[in-house]
Amino acid sequence: MSSLHHLPWALLNSCSDIDHFPPPPTQSGKKRDAAERKSCGGAASAHDIHIWTERERRKKMRTMFANLHALLPHLPAKVDKSSLVDEAVNHIKTLQQTLQNLHKQKLERLNNDTNPSLSFSKIVHHPSARSSAATTREAFLANQASSTNDMSSTLFPQLSTAAAAGDNVVSILPSPPSSFQTWLSSNLVLNVCGHHAHFCICSVKKPGLFPTLCYVLEKHQIHVVSAHVSSDYHRSFFMIHAHMNGGYDEFEAATVAEDTFKEAAREIIFWLSS
């Protein structure tokens, strides 16, 4: 015990604290610096990604506005974005209205093509009033009786043959039609006068169209007297003089030939629209 009294007080104090554990050692300087750099680097990386994303978004927006401006050439070179968007909306509405109008016109044309009977509008060409008052049925028959044989043989060969045989046919026949009846469509005009008809056709160029027209006429027993064909780079024009043969019973029923010409015209319109 006496020896304890001789020990220094500092040593005694240190011995009294022997039951207390020392604090854990702190991390070395290199590890601490690496952890700090890692945490700071993660924050910096997220910030850089955000900046890059925002930059790309603005770049994409500028490109989209430039493309939109190019679609509206009537706008000035420098225009704010709000005005550009408003003008684009108005332009889209105008285009939608135009599209609706064009679609309506297309449906009307398709309806006319699929229903050829509705595409005809009849126009009857009457003689002048002075000529109608002066020419009666009897006067017309007298003129027909005194007409030349060439005209009779050209228009009505059966009538010329019967007259040469001595039959008094002219006096019992009704007056043939002396005026054109016209039917119009978008690309065909039909002029009918008795057993004769003129087909005026305009169409885009199609291979084999003229043989098809001849086939349709032959199918309806319509004879082609003459045909004139002309064309340019995109269109073809046909002018066909057609005739239907018939006896005296058909001469009185001129509507038979008229209906046949109209039926052939409807079929031609169908081929033109196909």
Alpha helices per DSSP H over 17-156: 29-70, 81-114, 129-134, 137-145, 149-155
Q: Are residues 104 and 196 in the same domain?
A: no
Give dist(CA 254, CA 192) in Å, integer.
Answer: 10
Q: Are residues 154 and 235 in the same domain?
A: yes
Q: Are residues 79 and 215 in the same domain?
A: no
Residue 159 has a pLDDT of 44
* The pairing of beta strand 181-184 with beta strand 121-124: antiparallel
Q: Are residues 171 and 227 in the same domain?
A: yes
Instruction: List, in order, residues 6 or more apart from 33 with CB less than 8 Å away.
Output: none
Q: Is residue 208 part of a domain?
A: yes
Q: Are residues 182 and 264 in the same domain?
A: yes
Give dist(CA 153, CA 137) in Å, integer.
Answer: 21
Q: Are residues 154 and 207 in the same domain?
A: yes
The boundaries of the domain holding residue 264 are: 118-273
Supply 25's token pair: 């050692």
Q: Is residue 24 part of a domain?
A: no
Residue 151 has a pLDDT of 46
Q: Are residues 92 and 205 in the same domain?
A: no
Give 215-265 pLDDT, tens digit per residue.
Answer: 999 999 999 999 999 988 888 999 999 998 765 555 555 678 888 899 999
The SS3 assignment for 177 reads: coil
pTM exceeds 0.75: no
Residue 148 has a pLDDT of 45
Residue 50 has a pLDDT of 87
Give dist(CA 239, CA 262) in Å, integer.
Answer: 16
Q: Is residue 5 part of a domain?
A: no
Residue 72 has a pLDDT of 85
Q: Is residue 49 part of a domain?
A: no
Number of domains, the chain: 2
Q: Are residues 194 and 255 in the same domain?
A: yes
Residue 111 has a pLDDT of 65
Q: Is residue 45 part of a domain?
A: no
Instruction: List, in order, residues 6 or more apart from 162 with CB less than 8 Å away.
Output: 169, 248
The closest of 230, 211, 229 to 268, measured between CA atoms, is: 211
- H-helix or E-strand containing 197? strand 196-204
Provide the residue-wise pLDDT of the chain in tens; the chain has 274 residues: 445 455 555 544 554 454 555 555 555 555 566 666 656 556 668 888 989 999 999 999 989 988 988 888 888 888 888 888 988 899 899 989 998 888 888 777 766 655 544 455 566 555 554 444 445 555 555 555 555 444 444 444 544 454 455 444 444 445 555 677 888 888 899 999 888 999 999 998 888 899 999 999 999 999 999 999 998 888 899 999 999 876 555 555 567 888 889 999 998 988 888 7
Give dist(CA 32, CA 257) in Å, integer.
Answer: 111
Q: Is residue 92 part of a domain?
A: yes
Choose one of 114, 133, 151: the last residue of a domain: 114
Q: Where are any strands of DSSP class E within 213-274?
A: 223-231, 235-243
Q: Are residues 130 and 104 in the same domain?
A: no
Alpha-carbon torsion angle 117, 123, 124, 126, nearest 10: 180
